[in-house]
Structure 1
Amino acid sequence: MHRPPTGQQNYGPQFENQQNHQMQQPYFQYSQCTGKKKGLCIGINYTGQKGELKGCINDARNIQRFLCENYGYRKEDIVMLTDDAQNSRQIPTRENIIQAMQWLVRGAQPNDSLFFHYSGHGGSTKDLDGDEADGYDEVIYPVDYDNAGHLVDDIMHDLMVKPLPAGCRLTAIFDSCHSGSALDLPYIYSTEGKVKEPNLAAEAGQGVLSAVSSYARGDMSGVFKSAVGLFKTASGNTQKAQEVARQTKTSPADVISWSGCKDSQTSADAYEAGQATGAMSYAFMTALGRSKEQTYQELLVEIRTILKEKYSQKPQLSSSHPMDTSIMFIC
C-alpha cells in the first residue's frame, strides 16, 4: 500500500492542440490532502412530507464528527444543511444547497481536501445531453423540491467538479437512491479495482428486484415503476454515452465519489448501532473505523461486505480520472 504519487499523471492517447498545434495528452494530479480542508454535509429527513425519512440528519452529524475526529477537519470549516436547522440559511433548500456547493469549491488549491456528503432522497430523470449509458440523469431532492424542483447530476458536476484545479481532492458520498453516478464521474470501478463497463440488461433486472427491498427508501414518484428499469436498456447508445461522458466529464482534479447503490437501485434508510441511519453512511464510517489504512479497492470491498449482510444495494466507487485503486484512501 502506498500514498498517491505526486506530480502530473498522464494517460490516454496524445492529440494535437488545434490552437498551437502542439502535442498534448490528458492528465490529472492526485491530491496529497495536505492543504486546507472544507466540508459540506447535507441531511434531509423531509419531516412532515410524503416519503419522510428517519436517519439522514443523523448521517450528516455523524459524518461531520467522523471527519473532525479522524481526518483533521475543523467543525467551523464544515457547513451543515439539515431540515431541523434554526438558521434559514442552513435549511437544505435548492438555493441553499447550490450556494453551499459554490462555497465548498471557492478558492480551491492543489492538495486541498474537500468533502461532500448527501443523505436524502434521490431519483432519476430523462438524460438530455447523451452522457448517460442508461438514458437517465441522476438527481437529488432538496427539502423544497415540490416548489423548486430537484438538482440534476450535470448541475452538481458543473458546480463542484468543473471549478477544481489539478491536484485538488473532492471526496463525495451520496447516501441516496439511484446514486451510482450522481456526480457524473466517468470512471466507475469494480471490486477487482478495474473500470466497469455498463451492463444495461443486468441493471434493468436489478432495478426491478431492488423495488421489493423492505428497507428501501421511497421513490419520490410514490410508486416504483418497474417498467422504467426495463426501458433503460433500450434508451441511449451505451458506447456513445460513455464516450461523451469521458470527453466532457473527465477532470484534472482528484474527484472521488462513493455512492450508496447502483443507478438502478434504492438505498436503505436503516437502523444501526442504536439509531436511524443511512446504510451507506454507516458502512463507510464503520469500514474506516476498523482500519484507516486501506486502499480504495479494499475500502470498496469492505463497505460492500458490511452492507451485504442485510441489504441488496451495491455501493459504487467512481472517479473523475482513471485511477490506481491500489493506492491508500486519504481525505
Structure 2
Amino acid sequence: MEAQKKRVAVLVGCNYPNTANELHGCINDVLAMKETLVKRFGFDDSNIEVLTDAPNSCKLPTGANIKQALANMVDGAKAGDVLYFHYSGHGTRIPSKKHGQTFHHEEAIVPCDFNLITDLDFRQLVNRLAKGASFTILSDSCHSGGLIDKEKEQIGPSSSVQKGSTSKTCYTLTHKTIPYDSIQQHLSSLTKVITTDIGTHLLELFGSSASLRFQTASHALLEALGPDEGILLSGCQADETSADMNPGVAGKAYGAFSNAVEMVVREKEGDLSNREVVVRARKVLQGQGFDQHPCLYCSDENADATFLGHPQKT
C-alpha cells in the first residue's frame, strides 16, 4: 500500500510589538493562511505549526525556532509530500562581496530576535529535500525576491512589469524592511564588539544557530544542484519593499501580498499554477495602487505546476 502523502506547513508572523520596527498585519496574515490551508488545500490542522510574536504565543519566531521548525518539516518529508512555509514580517539586504561583486547583496528575513535567516539557509533546506517532495515558500517581506539562493527566475526583475503608483487605500502603509545599518547597530549594542562585520555580531550572539552565510567554509557546499523542488513566491523584487497595511480601528491589518494571494485563491475555483498565483497577485496589487511586484523563482516544470499541489510522479 502506498504511503499517505502529507501536507505540512510552518507559518511565521512577526509584528515586532512595542518596538521601533512594529508591524500590524503579519500575524493576521498567517492566521488567515492557516484557515485557507485547511479549508482549500486539505492540510490537517495538526500538520501546521504557527510561530508568532503575539503576547500569548507558545513559541516565539526566533531565528533558531524558525530554522528548527523548517528543519523538522524538511527532514521528515518523503516523496509526494507538500511542504509550505509562509513568512510575513521584515526583510533586509546584506552587502556581500561574493564572487568579487562589491555591490552584491544577499536577501534575508528578520526573525523577532534579529537572528537573520538568509538565502543560503533556504538553499540548504531545498538541497536536502527528499526526492519527489516539494517545498513552497511564500515570503511577504521586503527584498524577498531571490530568497532561495540560485533558484531560477520565472517572474522577476527581467520580466516586463508596469510600475504602480502610490497606494490608493486609506490605510497607514509601513514598509516591511529594516535597513542593514539599523540591524547592525542593534546587534552591536548587544555584543559591545567594535566591528562593522554583521557576521561577527551574529556569531557572537547566536553561535551555531546563526545563518550559514556567516559560518566558516559553508558556501562552497551549497551550490544549486540543478532543477529542484524549491518554489519561491516573493512579495516583491529584491530591490523593492512590501507593504504592511494598518487600517486602525476601521478594520483588520494585513500584508498587501498575503492579502492579494488570499484574494486570488478565493476568486478562482479549481487549481491555480504557481505562475498564475503570482501573475494574478501582481494584477491585484497593481489595481490597488501598490508599487511592488511579486516574483516567482522555481524550475521550469514547477512554474506551471499546481500551487500547493502534490508533485507529479517522475
CA distance, structure 2, for counterparts of residue 290 and residue 182 of structure 1: 28
1:150–1:257 CA distance, 2 compared to 1 (3 A): same
What corresponds to 2:273 in structure 1? Answer: 295
What corresponds to 2:258 in structure 1? Answer: 281
The yes-or-no answer on 1:164 pairing with 2:129 is yes
What corresponds to 2:22 in structure 1? Answer: 52
Q: Which of 301, 306, 313 lines up with 2:284 in the alignment? A: 306
Return the letter of the residue paired with 2:133. C
Secondary structure at 1:329's aligned position in 2?
Answer: coil
CA distance, structure 1, for counterparts of residue 83 and residue 47 of structure 2: 10
* Correspondence 1:79-118 to 2 at 5 A: 79-84=49-54, 86=56, 88=58, 90-118=59-87
Runs of 5+ unmatched residues, structure 1: 1-33, 191-195, 225-243
What corresponds to 2:243 in structure 1? Answer: 268
1:53–1:82 CA distance, 2 compared to 1 (3 A): same
Alpha-carbon shift at residue 275 of structure 1 (Å): 1.2
Indicate the structure with greater helix content: 2
What corresponds to 1:12 in structure 2? Answer: none
Alpha-carbon shift at residue 128 of structure 1 (Å): 4.7
* Correspondence 1:49-198 to 2 at 5 A: 49-84=19-54, 86=56, 88=58, 90-130=59-99, 135-145=104-114, 149-158=115-124, 160-190=125-155, 198=158
Q: Which of 162, 177, 187 lines up with 1:219 in the alignment? A: 177
Secondary structure at 2:50's aligned position in 1?
Answer: strand
TM-score where L is the length of structure 2: 0.73
CA distance, structure 2, for counterparts of residue 94 and residue 72 of structure 1: 28
Kindly indicate whether the alpha-carbon contact (under 8 Å) linking 2:229 and 2:302 is maintained by their aligned counterparts in 1.
Answer: no
CA distance, structure 1, for counterparts of residue 260 and residue 176 of structure 2: 20
Runs of 5+ unmatched residues, structure 2: 167-171, 183-218, 310-314
1:276–1:48 CA distance, 2 compared to 1 (3 A): same
CA distance, structure 2, for counterparts of residue 307 and residue 94 of structure 1: 30
Give aligned pairs, total. Answer: 259
Alpha-carbon shift at residue 164 of structure 1 (Å): 0.5
% same residue:
29
Secondary structure at 1:138's aligned position in 2?
Answer: strand
Kindly indicate whether the alpha-carbon contact (under 8 Å) linking 1:283 and 1:303 is maintained by their aligned counterparts in 2.
Answer: yes
